[in-house]
Amino acid sequence: MGDLTANFNKAEYACKCGCGRDDIKDELAYKVQKVRNILGKSIRINSGIRCIRHNGNIGSAETSSHIDGWAADLQTKGSAARYEMLKAVMQVFDRVGIAKNFIHVDIDATKTAGVVWTYGNKIYSGV
């Protein structure tokens, strides 16, 4: 059981550098929980909130929605898992990024809604 939602803990969304930053937005966590409920199986959070230093160290944009806790990257392994996750995500989120090993979801109201993007060559066209 989680301390944030039924299945997720704040620690799962915490910055991966170990700085202790874990102030993910509740609305985001609730929406990820909805995705998990639709899937009916566990989801691994690859990345939740990021401190500015960690965000820069991994080469992410200075405008990343992860910095303020508006975004999460949900792990996927393989094209079938990516398809299944994407199908569930699209029922809940309207800002979605697709990569080979994760699906980015965010609720950043400062950015355009109703968009899906890919991360360059990190995804294969036959998905």
| pLDDT, tens digit, 9 for 90 and up, residues 13-23 | 999 999 999 99
Dihedral over Cα of 109, 115, 121, 124: its sign: positive
State the Cα–Cα distance between residues 46 and 101, nearest whole angstrom. 9
Q: Which of 47, 32, 16, 46 is nearest to 88 (CA)?
A: 32
- CATH class given for the domain over 10-122: alpha beta
**Token pair for 71:** 């975004």
State the Cα–Cα distance between residues 86 and 23, nearest whole angstrom. 25
18-60 pLDDT per residue, tens: 999 999 999 999 999 999 999 999 999 999 999 999 999 999 9
